[in-house]
Amino acid sequence: MRTATITASTASSATAAAAAPTVAHAKAHAKRALLARHHIVAPSLKVADVAAAAVFGAARQRGPIARDAIARVTGLSIATVNRQVTALLDAGVLRERADLAVSGAIGRPRVPVEVNHEPFLTLGLHIGARTTSIVATDLFGRTLDVVETPTPRGTQNAALASLAGSARRYLSRWHRRRPLWVGVAAGGVVDSVSGYLDHPRLGWSEAPVGPVLAETLGLPVSVASHVDAMAGAELLLGVRRPGTQTGTSLYVYARETVGYALSIGGRVHSPASGPGTIAALPVNSELLGGSGQLESTVSDEAVLTAARAQRIIPAEGPASTLTAVLRAARAGHDGARALLNERARVLGEAVALLRDMLNPDDLVVGGQAFTEYPEGMEVLERAFVARSVLPARDIRVTAFGNRVQEAGAGVVSLGGLYADPIAAMRRAQLRRGELVTPGV
């Protein structure tokens, strides 16, 4: 009996062991099938080097432009440029400008081409701790329109359904442009492969942001960390700096949350486990609450709490806002100025610490903590210089000002197109075709 029992147990264990890989394989296959169905695409936040992207980039940045000029600025052969231009014309993202052809020139290669931006748009969503921006962007990366809505509260599923519904209604207004892609920028930890999001401040855990939006809108979706997205906007849509493709750039963000991103060799560095955090970076400010940590010291909420405690603004009501604090500072209120300058000082020291650790070639700051009160930049820069132990380095304020969140969401929606425009158009058209195929 003992032998029989051991034999049966062993057989049972062997059966379970044999079944385990099958179950795991089935789950993995089901997840891959789900992602394929939903068309979740990892964001491309990099300066692309494929031929089609280089040709499209030349037209986007310099167009209308002739093929021989494209060859000069990209370093590609004229034969390669001609092939890529033909493919991009067929894909619909370039158009010819025969009216601008050089007088007396013969043949299509002298006909300039430009981005065919009017028929298309991409949709971006920046999901913030308090508000969500929904933005329509053209193929140049220009904002066509943006609306802000409170980030939905309540259960995770209900919040995602509400966001997807808002995005669907927003897209329904665009009758003359075809949407190609959806880009989402959000705080928390993003799984860019699956489009899932962990966002503790919203109470979201493994929230299927990408799949819900893809299912509702019928478009490919990319999801990125919001600070990575903003760094990507500087890289791809901002003023291109010498050495952008080979050097390093540090981007520091502050508003209600704080964060940083690092671009290396023309690519935003996005760790597989999610971005690092500077929220608990040690700081010192009794005026802003004395929490001892960066995020809870410089956040909008920290400034508001301090302003209410000092009776600079009412404790509640429509006048109890950060806008009111800014207005008071500009009207000469010493207490309001002191709070905003203290925030600038703390941020300057924090930026100096990050710069000293990473020593990037380029240093950029963005977010309303920097841009809504530019009067504080002198204080910030003095604190930066006093705290840093390395040689002097300029701090560059984001090119997007107070619109950096929408720029970040926009570039996530455009990254795939900029990286490989022909493949991106095929994917967008495939998804659209699937939705109109009977029986699907």
pLDDT tens digits along 332-356: 999 999 999 999 999 999 999 999 9
**Radius of gyration in angstroms for the set of CA atoms belonging to the chain, rounded to a whole number:** 25
DSSP-assigned letters across all residues of 171-208: HTT-SSSEEEEEEEEESSEEETTTTEEEEGGGTEEEE-
Give percent above pLDDT 70 in the chain.
Answer: 85
DSSP state of 40: B
Confidence of residue 2 (pLDDT cuts 50, 70, 90): very low
Q: Which residues have C-beta within 8 Å of that of residue 352, sequence separation ≥ 6?
A: 383, 384, 385, 386, 387, 388
Confidence of residue 322 (pLDDT cuts 50, 70, 90): very high
User: What homologous superfamily does CATH list for 120-232+404-427?
Assistant: ATPase, nucleotide binding domain (3.30.420.40)
pLDDT for residue 436: 38
Confidence of residue 28 (pLDDT cuts 50, 70, 90): low
- CATH class, 51-115 region: mainly alpha
Q: Which residues have C-beta within 8 Å of that of residue 55, sequence separation ≥ 6?
A: 70, 74, 76, 81, 84, 85, 88
What gap in Å lies between CA 207 and CA 194, rounded to an integer? Answer: 10
**Calculated CA dihedral for residues 434, 161, 231, 32, nearest 10 degrees:** -50
| Peptide bond before residue 64 is cis, with ω within 30 degrees of 0 | yes
| Most confident option among 11-20, 24-33, 97-106, 262-271 | 262-271
Please, what is the average pLDDT of the chain? 88
Give percent above pLDDT 90 in the chain.
Answer: 76
What gap in Å lies between CA 392 and CA 426, rounded to an integer? Answer: 48
Task: Kindly state the average pLDDT of the residues 18-43.
Answer: 61
pLDDT for residue 431: 56
Could you list the beta-strand ranges (E) of 255-379: 258-264, 267-268, 362-366
What gap in Å lies between CA 183 and CA 418, rounded to an integer? Answer: 13
Structure tokens at 381: 């820069």
Residue 191, Cα to own-chain centre: how many angstroms? 14
pLDDT for residue 178: 95
* DSSP run (H or E) holding 168: helix 156-171
Q: Domain locations in the chain?
A: 51-115, 120-232+404-427, 240-398
pLDDT for residue 440: 31
The answer on pLDDT for 65 being more than 70 is yes
What gap in Å lies between CA 60 and CA 22, rounded to an integer? Answer: 49
Structure tokens at 322: 């950060």
Least confident of 40-54, 102-116, 341-355, 374-388: 102-116
What gap in Å lies between CA 387 and CA 332, rounded to an integer? Answer: 28
Say if residues 178 and 119 touch (Cβ distance below 8 Å): yes
The answer on pLDDT for 20 being more than 90 is no
Task: Kindly state the average pLDDT of the residues 410-432.
Answer: 89
What gap in Å lies between CA 60 and CA 141, rounded to an integer? Answer: 9
Task: Kindly state the average pLDDT of the residues 20-38.
Answer: 54
Give per-residue pLDDT as tens, 99-132.
Answer: 888 765 555 557 899 999 999 999 999 999 889 9
pLDDT for residue 26: 58
What gap in Å lies between CA 364 and CA 238, rounded to an integer? Answer: 11
Q: Do 120-232+404-427 and 240-398 agree at the fold level? A: yes
Q: Assign residue 289 a region: left if phi > 0, alpha if psi is -120 to 50, beta otherwise?
A: left
What gap in Å lies between CA 419 and CA 54, rounded to an integer? Answer: 9
- CATH class, 240-398 region: alpha beta
Give per-residue pLDDT as tens, 233-282.
Answer: 999 998 655 445 668 999 999 999 999 999 999 999 988 777 789 999 99
The answer on pLDDT for 359 being more than 90 is yes
pLDDT for residue 288: 95
Task: Kindly state the average pLDDT of the residues 51-75.
Answer: 94
What gap in Å lies between CA 339 and CA 321, rounded to an integer? Answer: 14
The answer on pLDDT for 45 being more than 60 is yes
Task: Kindly state the average pLDDT of the residues 381-406.
Answer: 95
Say if residues 364 and 234 touch (Cβ distance below 8 Å): yes
Task: Kindly state the average pLDDT of the residues 389-413.
Answer: 94
Confidence of residue 57 (pLDDT cuts 50, 70, 90): very high
Structure tokens at 135: 């933005």
For 66, phi then psi, to 5°, come to: -80, 160
| Distance spanning both ends of the chain, measured CA to CA | 57
Give per-residue pLDDT as tens, 155-193.
Answer: 999 999 999 999 999 999 999 999 999 999 999 889 999
Inter-CA distances, 318 with 149, 150, 314, 427, Å: 17, 16, 9, 47
3-class secondary structure, 238:
coil
Give per-residue pLDDT as tens, 183-221.
Answer: 999 998 899 999 999 999 899 999 999 999 999 999 999
3-class secondary structure, 246:
coil
* DSSP run (H or E) holding 30: helix 2-38
pLDDT for residue 226: 94
The answer on pLDDT for 13 being more than 50 is no
